[in-house]
Amino acid sequence: MTATIELESVPFIQKFKLIASDNKTEFIIDEKILNQSAVLKEMMEIQDKSDTEITIPLNQISAECLGNVIKFCKHYEDSEPYLPPIGPTACLSRPSQSHWDMVFLKSLSSKQLFDIINAANFLNISRLIDAGCFRLGYMTENRTVEEIRRIFQESGDFSAVEEEQIRNEPLWN
């Protein structure tokens, strides 16, 4: 009797197997983690449930990066769905440096950080995209234009005259 109740009360949890770009490294995750990615969630909605893991190959994401993404999502597996801040006041809502997200992202190298943001964008995990962007925002703090170029690996293409023109343009800055 008790055994039956137990069986009924345990909900079916679909497992997924993500395979990284090296075709070797596998991550087994459940719905709570998968659903944070809008892309994968949408993909899996049309998929039938299966007793075994559903395999999803992610050729674009390296094993190391995918591990980091899953680590982040695991931290939020039981949280409320994320609502991104919008509008011109969005910059006022940035998390403090001691926030878990910021500490986690700070522990990554800049290569790892850039990879995780691109991967989050690819998988459309809005919480991770925003956290990454906030972290990038902190990295631009008190930097010169030249330093920002170096951080983001962007090359400048303005002439000195044009640069001066843009510099003088805003009335308030």
Residues that bind other proteins (CB under 8 A): 60-61, 85-92, 94, 114-115, 117-119, 121-122, 129-130, 133-134, 136-137, 140-141, 143-145, 148-149, 152-160, 163, 166-167, 170-173
CA distance 118 to 91: 21
- Structure token pair of residue 49: 């449930």
Give the sign of the dihedral formed by CA 111, CA 113, CA 119, CA 122.
negative
Shortest separation between residue 128's beta carbon and other proteins, angstroms: 11
| Residue placing its CB nearer to other proteins in the complex, 46 or 161 | 161
Shortest separation between residue 55's beta carbon and other proteins, angstroms: 21
Shortest separation between residue 134's beta carbon and other proteins, angstroms: 5
Q: Say which amino acid occupies 51.
A: D
- Structure token pair of residue 141: 């703090």
Burial (Cβ within 10 Å: 0-12, 13-18, ≥19) of residue 119: buried
| Residue placing its CB nearer to other proteins in the complex, 72 or 130 | 130
| Residue placing its CB nearer to other proteins in the complex, 19 or 117 | 117
